[in-house]
Structure 1
């Protein structure tokens, strides 16, 4: 697809998956706007675009960002809600053990960050006939992330929100793509060759792989973008044989915990 002259705004765009998506769109002719807590203005220079410091938990920040983008580049055609955080259950590995702050932080970024983006960008897109809203969730939003309960729960909520957007506004011209990768080589993964959970079972993808799968989903009018092609089968197995799936996940967790009740 030719994105020449199209304006693409990406949150969490200064590094990792967001930066790779910016590069992919830019290579196809798009004008790029990046939002991040740190480094967005510097990263945007790589694309001749614009950047701004944005906290996605603050809707006013997103509103100001979109106002700036419209003034400098034009109306946004593609909005990518990519900003996210991972909070683990360690050291206790107790699913209910994460602090209230971890839960609230996860919800505010992983869910409300997307809600704020949609609330601000869709009213701008609708009068022009629609646009594209990309929500970067996770395979954890379709399956589970062992040892990261608040991440799993909020990514499930993010997927559900993306589905709701597609149902509510698809007839009005909004194309919604929900990106659900497993392990990706980003700062969130750290230096490990595995993320220690189900997402690491099928290998680690590069951010560029995620960006390319997103572009393919847009082109093919698919809701789900699955960089790890095994995820669809896992989701079907989970839905069709839930008790067996949960038993297998418990077994996997035991393997991860080791003999001493902590990660190996």
Structure 2
């Protein structure tokens, strides 16, 4: 990855920052994007370039890519990593659904619409979508998160199938618990759905550090592996789900009940 250019959205913290640091350590030139003003301080501390703004909007993404090309060169890697939890349960506010759909899903589609033609002209590129184990299984308590992460997996599959033979690679990251603000914020949330979601993840297996996830991500990219699973046990659960869907649903309902009762 030496002498390549990468954009990482959601790069001011968590997995995004860790991926950026791992790329920089391998000799890449990196632009981190985030809505948080702290992106500038983080970029300065790790040796990256910074872009502050809404990376889910078309205009924002166009400006982001233009900045990367001007300051760093043609973009080789795009990490669509920015994400939010979204409204708990079914949610009552339609605008909140629009927000989570924009950030968690449309960001990926809109970024690909910009990057794919450029990569077609150059003969190659790499798109990495951050989804979640919730995109393969589901997330107790958090409907919009589960729906959008399932959709991201479907998007990444389509991108891989459609352009993979043209040198445009696509992988999807599906971690379980990672020690990030996104996960930790649920522990003391006002919503019981969000608290249950947090417990469902933290009780299901080891919570990894972002740096551990970043190393798994870059190793998978080097092998051009589509499904990136920092928690290998997620694959076992996914296979169990596919082998007997109704049994898996019954098991998830039992797990949810225990979480609600506080017996887990």
Same fold at TM > 0.5: yes
- The corresponding residue for 1:122 is 116
1:177/1:214 contact within 8 Å kept: no
For 2:95, the equivalent position in structure 1 comes to 101
**Aligned positions of 1:1-264 closer than 5 A:** 3-38=1-36, 39-89=38-88, 95-190=89-184, 192=187, 195-198=198-201, 200-258=203-261
125-134 vs 27-36, which moves further:
125-134
CA distance in 2, matches of 1:204, 1:5: 32
Q: Once the 2 structures are TM-superposed, how far is the Cα of residue 54 of structure 1 from its aligned partner?
A: 2.4
After superposition, the C-alpha distances for 1:208-239 in whole angstroms (9 at most, x for unaligned) are 11111111111122101101010111111111
Q: TM-score, normalised by structure 1?
A: 0.91
- Are the aligned partners of 1:32 and 1:44 in contact in 2 as well (CA < 8 Å)? no
Unaligned 5+ segments in structure 1 are 90-94
Q: Matched residue of 2:42: which SS?
A: helix
Bigger shift: residues 3-12 or 95-104: 95-104
Q: Count matched residues.
A: 254
CA offsets, 1:86-128, max 9 Å, x none?
0252xxxxx4345323322211111001111111122222211
Encode CA deviations 1:146-167: one digit per residue, 9 max, x unaligned: 0001100110001100111001
Larger helix fraction of residues: 2
Alpha carbons 1:182, 1:200 under 8 Å: kept: no
TM-score using structure 2 length: 0.91
Q: 2:201 and 2:71 mapped to 1: Cα distance?
A: 42
Does the residue aligned with 1:256 lie in a helix, a strand or coil? helix
**1:46, 1:177 → 2: CA distance?**
28
Q: Do 2:7 and 2:78's aligned partners in 1 also have CA atoms closer than 8 Å?
A: yes
How far, CA to CA, are the matches of 1:243 and 1:229 in structure 2?
23
Q: Specify the SS of the correspondent of 2:169.
A: strand
- Gaps (5+ residues) in structure 2? 189-196
C-alpha spacing 1:47/1:123, structure 2 compared with 1 (3 Å): farther
Aligned partners of 2:259, 2:114: CA distance in 1, in Å? 42
